[in-house]
Structure formats: C-alpha cells, structure tokens
Structure 1
C-alpha cells in the first residue's frame, strides 16, 4: 500500500507518542522500583508527598498517551478504509483545518 501524506503524518505522530509513552512507562517503573526499595512512609517523609505527586502525574500522562495512541491507531485504520476525514456522526467532510490541529478527529466541529 503506498503511503499517503496523511498516513505518513499520522504514523510520524504515532511514533512520537509511542516514544513519549515508552519514556513515561520507564519513569513510572523507576518510581515503583524506588518505592519498593525504600520503605519510606509517604505521610511522614517530607519528600514522600512530592514523590507520590510525581508518580501520579507520570501515571496520568501515561494514560493520556495511551489514549492518544488508540486515537491515532483508529485514525490510521480509517485512513486505510478511505473514511479518514469524514465525520462519524453526520457523514460530512471534516474541515482540513480541524484535521491539521487534531489529526485523529472523528467528527466535524459541529458534531463535536
């Protein structure tokens, strides 16, 4: 299958998001490993709240990245079927400006 500019853009963005989620996953694993090695009581450790907060932030960013990957995978699937850029609700074309800002958009602005 020849690569279209749209597909190449979606794949490039997916690669970036995948690399970011891999880094976040490694960071989260490091936090968990550090927590297992150190029996510090977060409640009474002056650094504990910071560590717990950072771990929570990384976990949230990882979940967002995983959702973004799923959205990009779905967009790549639509591109392969020839339905990319078509609103899933009303069936009208999604404006190019919306796809430029949000390449994984499933709906036009009016239906969003």
Structure 2
C-alpha cells in the first residue's frame, strides 16, 4: 500500500508501510530500502550526486500517524504526515495479546503452576 510520495526535481520518492510494519522506499519505481519498523526508521536515498534521507517517526499511542521528513545534509526539505491504517493497529494488538498468552502459558508450565 502506497502511503505517500515526494517529488524532488524529476525524481519520485514513494513511502510504503505494510500492515506488519515493513517500510519500503521506492525511487522512481525501484525499491531502494526495505526495513522493519516499530516506531520509525531512517532510509538513505541517493539522488545522483545528492544524498538525502527519509525519516519516518511513529508514536504508537499518540496521534496514530506517521511523520515523514525528507532531509538533505540535515536540512528539512519536506515534511508530510500519513494516517496509520486501523488494520495495522489491530494486527499488532492481537500479536501482543497472543504473545502475552504464550509467554504466560510457557512460564506456568515451566514453573509448575
């Protein structure tokens, strides 16, 4: 799912975030970065002779949005906000409950309760 895009000169930078927290960055349709994120990451972008970064910042229990900052040499070029998908929050909630139950069951069986 494409969440947002930036256009710098003749380059299109696309930010994608999957339901499982996998962030991808595409430069002119070609994937240049793919990472797992729980609260945000930094993606490096090479624009010919220019070096830029795309930072994503996400606070789990705040405004339910991802803040994207495109920077070059530490200078902010553009800032955009992307609403998070409700499905993503539900998936992580269910994963948390599942892990909690699993850990509880393992500990009670190991400790003999």
Tell me the TM-score normalised to structure 1 length: 0.25
More strand by share: 2
Which protein has greater RCO, CA pairs closer than 8 Å, 6+ apart?
1
Which protein has the bigger helix share?
1
Pick the structure with greater CA Rg.
1
